Amino acid sequence: MPSTTAITVSQLSRLVGLPGAPMIIDVRIDEDFDADQRLLPASCRRNFKTVSTWASEFAGSQVAVVCQKGQKLSQGVAAWLRHEGISAESLEGGFEAWRDANGLLVRTEKLPPRDEKGRTVWVTRSRPKVDRIACPWLIRRFVDPHAIFLFVEAAEVPAVADRFQAVPFDIDNVFWSHRGDRCTFDTMIEEFGLKSEALDRLALVVRAADTASLDLVPQAAGFLAASLGLSRMFRDDLEQLEAGMLLYDAFFRWCRDATEETHNWPGAAGGKTA
């Protein structure tokens, strides 16, 4: 009989990267984590021993708990969270099952340090168009859902990065930036190890729109038009980012599930279509 308190690898993989994905908590012991320091997308590390002290952080959230094999640690933490009124499931088979199924995993060696609240902090140029919305979307959906993004004048990005311990991106002469004909979005996918068919397809659309190479894919012109339209709709860059998240969610879902789907006006009597 299927467990009512566990989520399978296939079920969780269908939710990863979507706005309604559960919060993923990695409770592997240090020995297991040190053997493979990759993380499931958008997951955070917590000590199972202190669950009573941090459980309240996840109040109101849907949670998936991951340990090495999906046994005592994740099931115990999930049970404790449910005791606290939090909707929580353990990942069936744990990290090993996810890894063996070739589930998407985030490389952590390039992750920036987190602030006192456990968030990564990033800074870039104001008035974003394509890449500077694409990268925050990727980070929030696959790396750190609570990441902070600071938009400032281009000349001030290095100084703000230094004074506020933020990571600069999408400017010249920094690690997280364009490389050759590839944009910063491509760099992040590569460095975080987020290679997947859907993200690779989305990256091509982003690259084409961001580098004015609109002949690369037929979706590029429309994507650029929507991005430029959003930039004109919002004076506040953070409001634009929040609106842009939906655009990228929609394109990611198309890249993953709908590239073969077409749409046409229903045929009139006699089978005529328009």
Place of tokens 């002949």: 215
Inter-residue contact 62 to 82 (CB < 8 Å): no
How far, in Å, CA of 38 to CA of 16, rounded? 15
Give 189-240 pLDDT, tens digit per residue: 999 999 999 999 999 999 999 999 999 999 999 999 999 999 999 999 999 9
| Phi, psi values for residue 62, rounded to 5° | -90, 130
Output the pLDDT for position 274.
45
Structure tokens at 233: 């709709």
pTM value is 0.94
| 216: containing domain | 114-258
Same domain, 189 and 233: yes
Residue 270 lies in a domain: no
Output the pLDDT for position 273.
46
Total structural domains within the chain: 2
Please name every residue paired with 45 in a beta bridge, in sequence order, or none if there are none: 26
Same domain, 122 and 90: no
Output the pLDDT for position 2.
58
Output the pLDDT for position 269.
54
Residue 202 lies in a domain: yes
Output the pLDDT for position 187.
98
Question: Strands 43-45 and 62-66, how do they pair?
Answer: unpaired
Residue 154 lies in a domain: yes
Edge-to-edge strand list for the sheet holding 167-168: 148-152, 121-125, 167-168
Output the pLDDT for position 263.
87
Q: Per-block average pLDDT, block size 10, for the chain (274 residues)?
A: 85 97 98 98 97 97 98 98 98 98 96 94 98 98 98 98 98 97 97 96 97 95 97 97 98 96 74 46
Output the pLDDT for position 4.
83
Output the pLDDT for position 268.
54
Q: In terms of residues, how long is the chain?
A: 274
CATH number at residue 42: 3.40.250.10
Cα angle value 258/261/265 (rounded, 5°): 135
